[in-house]
Amino acid sequence: MLRRTPWPLLTGLLLCGCLRPSGARLPILTAPAYDSPAPYLSLPPAFEDRLLYYNAFELPDGAPEICDRRLAQPVKLETRADGARGRCAMTGTGKELQLRSDAFSPHLPLTVSFWWALQQDAKADGGFGLVQLSGKQGYVSHFSRGKGEWCALRRPAGILQVYHFPGIQNVNGIYDDDWMAHLDLKAGAWHHTALAFNGASLVEVYTDGRLAWKVRLRGRPFRSDDQLHSLSIGTRSGTAMAIDEVLVLRRALAAGEIADYVAALRHMREVGYPDR
């Protein structure tokens, strides 16, 4: 059996060709968030701790591979081949990945991580959603909006909003006003996004393994009574989007962990390392 290999070492071995694809699977240790050991090559061992949800969309009807008991996924998504790793799920035309759990509240450390690829080339006046965490009143939303009257945008922009929380100053973070100049938004180009919540007040946005933007809340931190329990990933409208390798962890990943993870999965994809 292929032995469990630390991810930084695995990346180096893949690059130098010391590892060859095989049908063997890596065992992983269980954590309190789930019951049964399950071997997933795309899941870093360091991410097993406090893992709430993992979906690589390899199971029928888009069911998750790992799911915390408290978490509900009311709608299963259509899946297809050609994902970032193996199969992927389709969002758009009114469908997105919807999850619900009181464990999502960002008054405690939290990370949401996933891969995505547009299914048509982005248009200057187009837009799409990426991830939104919403509660009884407010929401945290990461999305792209294109040319139009709203904020006088001229090209698709990268945006993070924190809105409608009593006592928290609204954030309309247009942190990149020309995503098409800095990101390949052609159909089929895979990208990685992560939102990390730390200290109940710091929100970090990562794109393709790099910190793209961060904001510290003003007024007050997130609280459990904000009831931020609803998480959506992908897009409901605008340009259709494939998503893959969705992870939700009850801790805030560090910048280095996210960078290593993105690099390793890209290397696995490039060398044709086994999907499972």
3-state secondary structure of 104: helix
Give the predicted TM-score (pTM) of the model.
Answer: 0.86
Return the closest-CA partner of residue 116 out of 257, 268, 247, 260.
247
| CATH architecture, domain 51-267 | Sandwich (2.60)
Q: What is the pLDDT of residue 239?
A: 79
H or E element that contains 53: strand 51-55
CA separation, residue 84 to residues 24, 123, 137, 144, 223 (Å): 20, 23, 34, 21, 35
- Measure the CA–CA gap between 104 and 172, rounded to whole angstroms: 22
3-state secondary structure of 77: coil
The helices-and-strands tally (H runs, E runs) of the chain is 3, 15
Q: What is the DSSP letter of 125?
A: T
Q: Give the chain's residues under pLDDT 50.
A: 1-6, 9, 13-31, 33-38
Instruction: For the chain, give the number of residues.
Output: 276
H or E element that contains 121: none
- Measure the CA–CA gap between 123 and 50, rounded to whole angstroms: 39
Q: Scanning the structure block, which residue is given the tokens 């159909």?
A: 187
- Measure the CA–CA gap between 133 and 140, rounded to whole angstroms: 5
**pLDDT (tens digit per residue) in 113-161:** 999 999 999 999 989 999 999 998 899 999 999 998 888 888 899 999 9
Q: Scanning the structure block, which residue is given the tokens 């919540």?
A: 197
Q: What is the pLDDT of residue 149?
A: 85
Question: Helices 7-16 and 255-271 sit at what angle, rounded to 10 degrees?
Answer: 30
Q: Encoding tokens for residue 90?
A: 């389709």
